[in-house]
């Protein structure tokens, strides 16, 4: 692991050659490296927390100097909060216990006698992961990279630089005692090398940006390297007329308020016109009680005007602008639109959504299946909160991020999303010229073999 | 299908909205469309061949006017050649008979009682496919797109414009009688719309360029849309000292000479130093007899100088330049380099290769497995010709191209490579706030269900 004085090219080249070694290591060697990282972090706790305290102090100093600094940033930065260090350590062991994703045979075909084709999973190679100022993420992502046999170049948020340096020093020292090459995990501490790294498509195979919309858009437009992630999380929910009223209100409230800043939070509620006076008022009342501002189209606003509770919340029921239906609020605000039925709801989601997670609330299985098949999104749910879109909740053990891409990996991305495959052929000297139609040629067998 | 007068934006938007319909059609409706395309092309044979004759005449006229025109272009262009039209028709039925790739459940997990997660395959959406002047390819790719539930925007080589228009008119008319929306297959006939299409990442999900290195590089550097394909096919073979001499010579000759212009042809031969005087001469003699020029490093050239046949082929045994080991000759030329053993061979391939297909010739299973695991390529073979890298030969029924990407799909890409998946959750109103640790919270079940 190179901390400083290493050019972007050197870092990427080292990561690439380490990836070739890492890809051939058995699971035991990769798991031993995780054990070593765990032990190193446990032993280095005091040193790391001291570094983290310096980051926190610097952040507080900046705030005192009048620079904007959100409380959530300080909260994410603080590795000394109760249970956080332990969770980080436990996360490494959790990753170690996951099934080995490398070397799984996913297809076997006998092309001819003594000529077998095999498709086998293997690591992608070198990942560039750019993430927020959360010190524990470096340990988490380093673990995922080692487990999946990929090298990783990591760039964390600048506010956490001291913590990153301390953690990466520990990881680097831990790796020297293992078969995993040191170059497999590279830390980048300055932002100015990112443009250089994004140019190195000969060494870097995949970029995973975690963070804001702006960062993801910048990266997508600045590199030929494939990018896995999501710029927006504009999740929608369709409240269909047959939905159970209590269930609907609960799911809508959870989707919107459980963690409003998350990408899987609800941003647009589509209400069937025939449900405006039946289901919608209770849901709206529950949202207003949680402090949610409702940005309503004329019909939904008119429906609320009739409700007894509306007068208490006048300032929280406002007219929606067109732009509200393309906005990821990430706050206690919700756009509400009236639709005639399923088709209009689906068309709205496929036009305005961000292909992240969209849900229908209905008692009709038939409508639910039509919605789930027709909406083009990584997650399509029936009677469940959009907040379920998460690698831990899906049972993947962990996630490197959530993808709204249309290729490779979609939705919460766990270890599987960090794998690709190769085809192996084992023969006895067969040549292409022997096969085909015509004199002396033979056909292929193409016999599917058990896995 | 819009032939002309349609802007790139309209074409892409139409393709996107057609893709939303196409994605929900059952297999029978998609297969019926293939039957209709087949019947249409059969009935329209005379008209299509007449259009093709106009393309051929124009190509010959250009050649007569002194413009460069390769014989292979005319040969690819000619749809009237014996069996070619029948092969095109048969290809459509072959695709129709392939297993439906849509709606396969690949993961089922019970998150909680009454809360089931399902991962199910679905089409990617809109494909932009840019290909050479081969008229039958339009029928082939349209079939693959319809079968896989994807819309496709097709741009073929300009020399085949008349044939394309005739075939696409037939396909368009055929689709009007089916449930597949007309906008699902779009034909683009002029090159100038390509830059506009490459800008439309909101509508187009994947670009598949088939064709030369230069085209692929241009496209990769001109779009944010993911690109699937290969710029180079620089395949290498390592001749290890224990290989059977006769087998080795046959496999090397087939890999180099079976179809030298193909991307899966051999371009670099790595000879173990200890095999220079034992295995290499017979292989070299066989290559020279087929007219292959050998671009040798000093040691391999010295080894050949001792051979009796060398004097007859003096002009075909030349000194290799450094650049030869990074060159895809696509002709009867082969770079030859001496290596000390497996490690040096693997290092050379991982540095100079193009991650397409690389092989080892050896009697040692242990060395073969090490080579196949260590070489980073879409195909790694033991004792088989690199020419095996092909969707038909792999038993995929057909292919849209060969990918050297490190994500999504690698090697020959069949129907599976045109699919992605979505996660569905079917619940009873569960909310994220109920799960976790602490008072009144419950854990997830994460019970793997049978598929």
For every residue of chain A, which 3-state class applies, written as one string?
Answer: CCCCCCCHHHHHHHHHHHHHHHCCCCHHHHHHHHHHHHHHHHHCHHHHHHHHHHHHHHHHHHHHCCCCCCHHHHHHHCCCCCCHHHHHHHHHHHHHHCCCCCCCEEEEEEEECCEEEEEEEEECCEEEEECCCCHHHHHHHHHHHHHHCCEEEEECCHHHHHHHHHHHHHHHHHHHCCCCCHHHEEEECCHHHHHHHHCCCCCCCEEEECCCHHHHHHHHCCCCCCECCCCCCCEEEEECCCCCHHHHHHHHHHHHHCCCCCCCCEEEEEEEHHHCCCCHHHHHHHHHHCCCEEEECHHHHHHHHCCHHHHHHHHHEEECCHHHHHCCCCCCEEEEEEECCHHHHHHHHHHHCCCCEEEEECCCHHHHHHHHHHCCCCEEEEEECHHHCCCCCCCCCCCCEEECCCCCCCEEECHHHHEEEEEEEEEEEECHHHECCCCCCECCCCEECCC
Residue A2 has pLDDT above 60, yes or no: no
- Condensed to tens digits (0 to 9), the pLDDT of residues A344-383 reads 999 999 999 999 999 999 999 999 999 999 999 999 999 9
Q: Indicate whether B39 and B151 sit together in one domain.
A: yes
Paired tokens of A233: 């999380």
CA distance B298 to A172: 42
Q: In Å, what is the CA distance from A295 to each residue of A260, A262, B87?
A: 16, 19, 59
Q: Indicate whether A240 and A210 sit together in one domain.
A: no
Evaluate whether residue A153 is within a structural domain: yes
Query: Quick one: average pLDDT of A68-88?
Result: 85
Evaluate whether residue B417 is within a structural domain: no
Contact residues, A window 111-140, toward B, CB-based 8 Å cutoff: 111, 115, 117, 124-125
With bands split at pLDDT 50, 70 and 90, how would you rate the model's confidence at B137?
A: confident
> Are B426 and A368 within 8 A, CB to CB?
yes
Contact residues, A window 404-433, toward B, CB-based 8 Å cutoff: 405-412, 420-433
> Are A446 and B395 within 8 A, CB to CB?
yes
Contact residues, A window 192-211, toward B, CB-based 8 Å cutoff: 205-206
Which chain B residues are Cβ-neighbours of A378 within 8 angstroms?
A: 422-423
What is the model's pLDDT at position A6? 54
Q: Indicate whether A214 and A240 sit together in one domain.
A: no
Evaluate whether residue B398 is within a structural domain: no
Of A196, A220, A244, the one marking the end of a domain is A220
Range of the domain at B310: 235-388
Q: Indicate whether A171 and A242 sit together in one domain.
A: no
- Condensed to tens digits (0 to 9), the pLDDT of residues B155-175 reads 988 899 999 999 999 999 999
What is the model's pLDDT at position A189? 84
Residue A3 has pLDDT above 60, yes or no: no
What is the model's pLDDT at position B76? 84
Q: Indicate whether A212 and A289 sit together in one domain.
A: no
With bands split at pLDDT 50, 70 and 90, how would you rate the model's confidence at A151?
A: very high
- Condensed to tens digits (0 to 9), the pLDDT of residues A297-342 reads 999 999 999 999 988 988 999 999 999 999 999 999 999 999 999 9
Q: Indicate whether A184 and A243 sit together in one domain.
A: no
CA A199 distance to own-chain centroid: 23
- Mean pLDDT, chain B, as a whole number? 93
> Are A376 and B20 within 8 A, CB to CB?
yes
Q: Indicate whether B164 and B253 sit together in one domain.
A: no
CA A345 distance to own-chain centroid: 26
Paired tokens of B139: 């029928």
What is the model's pLDDT at position A76? 84
Supply the ipTM of this predicted assembly: 0.94
Min Cα–Cα distance to chain B from A133, Å: 24
Evaluate whether residue B344 is within a structural domain: yes
Q: Indicate whether A199 and A339 sit together in one domain.
A: no
What is the model's pLDDT at position B73? 79
- Does the beta carbon of A22 lie under 8 angstroms from any beta carbon of chain B? no
Min Cα–Cα distance to chain A from B58, Å: 33
Q: Using CB atoms, which residue from A24, A226, A428 is nearest to B383?
A: A428
Of A388, A419, A437, the one marking the end of a domain is A388
Evaluate whether residue B422 is within a structural domain: no
What is the model's pLDDT at position A4? 43
Query: Quick one: average pLDDT of A129-144?
Result: 90
> Are A394 and B111 within 8 A, CB to CB?
yes
Evaluate whether residue B446 is within a structural domain: no
- Mean pLDDT, chain A, as a whole number? 93
Within 13 Å and on the Cβ side, how many CA atoms surround B316? Answer: 19
CATH number (domain holding residue A265)? 3.40.309.10
Number of domains in chain A: 2
What is the model's pLDDT at position A215? 87
Q: Indicate whether B337 and B261 sit together in one domain.
A: yes
Residue A78 has pLDDT above 80, yes or no: yes
- Condensed to tens digits (0 to 9), the pLDDT of residues B239-263 reads 999 999 999 999 999 999 999 999 9
Evaluate whether residue A108 is within a structural domain: yes
Q: Indicate whether B254 and B199 sit together in one domain.
A: no
Query: Quick one: average pLDDT of A238-265?
Result: 97
pTM of the model: 0.94
Q: Indicate whether A89 and A205 sit together in one domain.
A: yes
- Condensed to tens digits (0 to 9), the pLDDT of residues B375-403 reads 999 999 999 999 999 999 999 887 888 99
Paired tokens of A291: 């402090």
Q: Indicate whether B206 and B259 sit together in one domain.
A: no
CA distance A411 to A389: 7
Min Cα–Cα distance to chain A from B224, Å: 6
């Amino acid at each position: 692991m190179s901390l400083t004085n290493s050019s972007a090219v050197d870092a990427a080249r080292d990561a690439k050659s380490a990836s070739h070694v890492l890809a051939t290591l058995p699971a035991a060697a990769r798991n031993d490296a995780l054990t070593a990282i765990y032990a190193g972090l446990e032993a280095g706790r005091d040193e790391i927390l001291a570094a983290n305290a310096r980051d926190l102090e610097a952040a507080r100093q900046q705030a005192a100097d009048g620079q904007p600094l959100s409380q959530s940033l300080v909260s994410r930065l603080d590795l000394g909060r109760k249970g956080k260090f332990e969770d980080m350590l436990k996360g490494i062991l959790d990753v170690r216990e996951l099934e080995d994703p490398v070397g799984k045979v996913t297809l076997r075909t006998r092309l001819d006698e003594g000529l077998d084709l095999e498709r086998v999973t293997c690591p992608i190679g070198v990942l560039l992961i750019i993430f927020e100022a959360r010190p524990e993420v470096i340990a988490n992502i380093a673990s995922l990279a080692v487990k999946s046999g990929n090298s990783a170049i990591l760039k964390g948020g600048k506010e956490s630089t001291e913590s990153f340096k301390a953690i990466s020093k520990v990881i680097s020292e831990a790796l020297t005692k293992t078969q995993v090459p040191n170059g497999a995990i590279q830390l980048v501490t300055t932002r100015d090398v990112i443009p250089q790294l994004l140019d190195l498509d000969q060494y870097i195979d995949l970029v995973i940006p975690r963070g804001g919309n702006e960062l993801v858009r910048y990266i997508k437009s600045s590199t030929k390297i494939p990018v896995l992630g999501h710029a927006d999380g504009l999740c929608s929910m369709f409240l269909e007329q047959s939905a159970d009223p209590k269930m609907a209100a609960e799911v809508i409230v959870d989707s919107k308020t459980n963690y409003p800043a998350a990408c899987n939070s609800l941003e647009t509620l589509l209400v069937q016109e025939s449900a405006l006076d039946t289901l919608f008022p209770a849901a709206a009342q529950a949202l207003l009680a949680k402090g949610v501002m409702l940005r309503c189209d004329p019909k939904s606003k008119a429906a609320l005007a009739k409700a007894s509770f509306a007068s208490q919340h006048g300032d929280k029921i406002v007219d929606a602008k067109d732009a509200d239906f393309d906005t990821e609020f990430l706050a206690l605000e919700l756009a509400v639109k009236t639709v005639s039925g399923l088709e209009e709801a689906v068309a709205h989601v496929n036009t305005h959504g961000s292909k992240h997670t969209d849900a229908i609330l209905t008692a009709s299985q038939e409508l639910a299946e039509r919605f789930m098949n027709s909406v083009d999104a990584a997650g399509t749910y029936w009677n469940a909160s959009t907040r379920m879109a998460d690698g831990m909740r899906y049972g993947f053990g962990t996630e490197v991020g959530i993808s709204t891409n249309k290729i490779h990996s979609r939705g919460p991305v766990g270890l599987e999303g960090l794998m690709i495959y190769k085809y192996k052929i084992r023969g006895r000297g067969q040549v292409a010229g022997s096969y085909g139609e015509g004199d002396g040629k033979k056909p292929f067998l193409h016999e599917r073999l058990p896995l």
